Amino acid sequence: MSNDSTSAPNFIRNQISEEIEAGKVDKIVTRFPPEPNGFLHIGHAKSICLNFGLAEQFGGDCHLRFDDTNPAKEEQAYIDAIKEDLHWMGFEWAGDVRYASDYFDQLYAWAQHLIREGKAYVDDLSPDEIREYRGTLTEAGRPSPYRERSPEESLDLLERMKQGEFAESEKVLRAKIDMASPNINLRDPILYRIRHASHHQTGEKWKIYPSYDFAHGQSDAIEGVTHSICTLEFEDHRPLYEWFLDNLPVPAKPRQIEFARLNLNYTLTSKRKLKLLVDQGIVDGWDDPRLPTISGMRRRGYTSASIRKFCDMIGVTRADGGLVEIGMLYHAIRSDLEDNAPRAMCVMKPLKVVLTNVPEDHAEVFEVAGHPARDDMGTRKLPFTREIWIDQDDFMEEPPKKFFRLAPEKEVRLRNGYVIRCDEVIKDDAGEISELRCSVDFETLGKNPEGRKVKGVIHWVSAEHGVPVEVRQYDNLFQVEQPDKDKETDFLEHLNPESLVTVQGIAEPSIRDVAPESRYQFERVGYFCADRYACVDGKIVFNRTVGLKDGWAKAQKKG
Pairing status of strand 343-344 against strand 411-414: unpaired
CA pair distance 227, 253, nearest whole angstrom: 9
- For Cα atoms 16, 21, 26, give the angle at the middle one, nearest 5 degrees: 70
Beta-carbon contacts of 165 under 8 Å, excluding residues fewer than 6 positions away, are none
Does 494 show up as a binding residue in the annotation?
no
Residue 252 is labelled as binding a ligand? no
Q: Is 45 annotated as a binding residue?
A: yes
Closest to 463 measured CA to CA, from 543, 362, 342: 362
Q: Does the annotation flag 85 for ligand binding?
A: no
Annotation-wise, does 362 bind a ligand? no
Alpha helices in 135-211 (DSSP H): 151-162
Consult the annotation and say whether 42 binds a ligand: yes
Give the helix ranges, DSSP H, for 135-227: 151-162, 212-223
Nearest to 223 by CA among 102, 112, 111: 102
Catalytic residue among 271, 298, 308, 334: 271
Where does residue 476 rank: exposed (0-12), middle (13-18), buried (19+ CB within 10 A)?
A: middle
36 labeled part of a ligand binding site: yes
Q: Exactly one of 147, 261, 352, 374 is catalytic; name it.
A: 261
Instruction: List beta partners, residue 501.
Output: 473
Is 519 marked active-site?
Answer: no
Give Cα 139 distance to the centre of its chain. Answer: 40
* Active-site choice (35, 84, 325, 387): 35
Report whether 43 belongs to an annotated binding site: yes
Beta carbons of 175 and 113 less than 8 angstroms apart:
no
Is 41 annotated in a binding site? The answer is: yes
Q: Is 35 a catalytic residue?
A: yes
| Closest by CA position to 322, among listed 283, 264, 282, 245 | 264
Could you give the C-alpha distances from 358 to 210, 405, 418, in angstroms and in order? 77, 21, 12
DSSP string, 443-487: T-TTSPPTT-----EE-EEETTT-EEEEEEEE--SBSSS-TTS-T
Residue 48 CA to residue 416 CA, distance in Å, equals: 43
To the query of whether residue 176 is one of the catalytic residues in this protein, the response is no
- Return the bridge partners of 380, or none: 368
Q: Which residues are annotated as a binding site for ATP?
A: 35-37, 41-47, 231, 261-262
Residues forming the active site? 35, 261, 271
Provide the annotated binding site. 35-37, 41-47, 67, 212, 231, 261-262
Query: Which segments are annotated as binding site for L-glutamine?
Result: 67, 212
